[in-house]
Chains A and B, each alone.
Chain A
Amino acid sequence: MWMWRELSRGLRGLLNRSSADRDIADEVEHYLDEAAASFEARGLSPEEARLAARRELGSVTAVRDQVRTYGWENIVETTFADVRYAGRRLRRYPVQALVAALTLALGIGASTAIFSAVNPVLFQPLPYPDAGRLMLIWDGQGGSRFDVTFGTYRELMARNRSFESMTVARPMQPTLTGVAEPERLDGQYVSADFFRVLGVRPALGRDFQPSDDVPGTPFVVLISDGLWRRRFSADPRIVGRQIALNEIPVIVIGILPRGFENVLSPAAEIWSPLKYDPALPLNGREWGHHLRLVGRVRADVDADRARHELDEIARATLPEFARPQWAALRDGFIANSLQDELTRTVRPALFAIVGAVILLLTIACVNVTNLLLAQGAERRTELAVRTALGRPVLGSSDNCSLRRCCSHR
């Protein structure tokens, strides 16, 4: 009830300011009349009575202003008046306005530009489903980060309980042959699970199967959308056809989706199974430290527990998983979220840049504030004169709040 009255009265006052003003003016005028009449009744002449009444009332404008300051609508109105006033000032001093706008534009522009560059690296998750569960696992020999061996990968796959799946990858640079113009490609040898661990499915054709990742089976490859468009004119019939890499025939079994980003090797365009020997001969590449190991932690396990389990596995050797001395895992593993590991080296620099940009923006704001302060100091006389005159010239409720704060000094 009370709220409603406040609201409706306020709105009426706002929408029909002139009538609200007239009401106030009429009431003040009537008050003056009555006061004059009462003086007259005491024997003063009409002019004297009028003067006495005025003296008693003080400034009619002041009384009107005082009455008008009541109510929430007055705050709204004052704000609008201030905005209008600001607009007028900006128009009247275009150079200062331009300088302020430019300063702010530079500050805001630079911050936005840097932030948009840094945002995907620092703050956005990797472009995979549930990317937070992906961890990069290193052999932590001597506290450094070493690529893992295939033997270690096999042991972890067999023994861990914390990861849904794990995959390994290493770079390859095959040459596309058997075409008019051979091309050196960037690619990766991967274990069969690679794309399933990342959560990506081929747009065309099929993914690698465990049976593809066995020595002696036919060579198959997956290619990126970019390579497919560039070298095979986006022909869907390429799936199932043979191409030649390093003059060896391989079969294209699928094409990855267009938006697929491979953060482990951004330039890679072609993938082939590792085909390492599960018998793990000690003198083979199966025990070389050259594989990136990525695991997808189970949804109900947190990173710390996964890390803990990895270290337990590293400590406890089992006879069926004999390790050569150079891959004995004596120092355990270093495992962190894939995103943290990828940005680890650049992160401090990027934060420094973000900090610098925030400072830049602050400096811009300070500069504009200084500009305004200087202007304000210049205008004190003007404001004083205007207040003394009862704020003529510019509109009726001109810069109320500004005036108020100046007169309170």
Chain B
Amino acid sequence: METTNTDVIQGTLDMLILKTVSLEPMHGFGITRRVEQVSRGVFKVNPGSLLTALNRLERAGWLDAEWRQTANSRRAKYYSLTRTGRKQLEEETSNWARRASAVARILKAEA
């Protein structure tokens, strides 16, 4: 594992979760691993924040949760994106794109 990994940027965890789950239903650790892999280890998800966020997103109606039996007869909670969740994801994505490009422009102008 890389040593330079950091916590997820403040305020983007929800968006990352929604995006990750939009591909297929996933459990908590699956989301963590996916985020770490796709970001090539740059972002590290804090388990406490992740589980709390999942709870919150489910409450907000953006995620559906379903308990499934795992291979070693444990219960696992799988999350999938709801329709309002998809809308929220689009909104947050475009929002993020706008802000990120704005930041990029500013940084370029300085250089």
Q: Which A residues are within 8 Å of any B CB, using their own CB?
A: 1-2, 5-6, 9, 23-24, 26-31, 33-35, 38, 56-58, 62-63, 66-67, 69-71
In the complex the two chains form, is A31's CB within 8 Å of B29's CB? yes
In the complex the two chains form, is B30's CB within 8 Å of A67's CB? no
By beta carbon, the residue of chain A nearest B33 is A38
Q: How far is the CA of A386 from the CA of B72 in the complex (A)?
A: 36
By beta carbon, the residue of chain A nearest B49 is A66
Which of the residues B32, B49, B75 comes within 8 Å of A30, measured between beta carbons?
B75
* Residue B56, interface by CB 8 Å: yes
19 CB-based A-B contacts, threshold 8 Å:
A2-B60, A5-B59, A5-B61, A23-B77, A24-B51, A30-B75, A30-B76, A30-B77, A33-B72, A34-B27, A34-B33, A38-B33, A63-B47, A63-B51, A66-B48, A66-B49, A70-B52, A71-B55, A71-B59
B3 to chain A, nearest CB (A): 14
* Residue B105, interface by CB 8 Å: no
In the complex the two chains form, is A29's CB within 8 Å of B74's CB? yes
B65 to chain A, nearest CB (A): 9
The 8 A CB mask of B2-42 against A (1 = contact, 0 = none) is 00000000000000000000000001111011000000000
In the complex, the number of residue pairs spanning A and B with C-beta atoms less than 8 Å apart equals 71
A35 to chain B, nearest CB (A): 6
Q: How far is the CA of A62 from the CA of B72 in the complex (A)?
A: 25
Chain A residues with Cβ under 8 A from B49's Cβ?
66
In the complex the two chains form, is A27's CB within 8 Å of B28's CB? yes
Given the known inter-chain contacts A9-B59, A38-B33, please indicate yes or no for A67 contacting B77, CB distance below 8 A: no
Q: How far is the CA of A24 from the CA of B65 in the complex (A)?
A: 13
Q: Which B residues are within 8 Å of any A CB, using their own CB?
A: 27-30, 32-33, 47-49, 51-52, 55-56, 59-61, 67, 70, 72, 74-77
In the complex the two chains form, is B59's CB within 8 Å of A26's CB? no
Chain A residues with Cβ under 8 A from B55's Cβ?
67, 70-71
B24 to chain A, nearest CB (A): 16
Which of the residues A5, A26, A57, A67 comes within 8 Å of B74, measured between beta carbons?
A26
B72 to chain A, nearest CB (A): 7
In the complex the two chains form, is B61's CB within 8 Å of A30's CB? no
Which of the residues B32, B60, B72, B77 comes within 8 Å of A27, measured between beta carbons?
B77
By beta carbon, the residue of chain B nearest A63 is B48
Chain B residues with Cβ under 8 A from A69's Cβ?
52
Chain A residues with Cβ under 8 A from B72's Cβ?
33
In the complex the two chains form, is B47's CB within 8 Å of A57's CB? yes
Chain A residues with Cβ under 8 A from B75's Cβ?
26, 30
In the complex the two chains form, is B28's CB within 8 Å of A67's CB? no
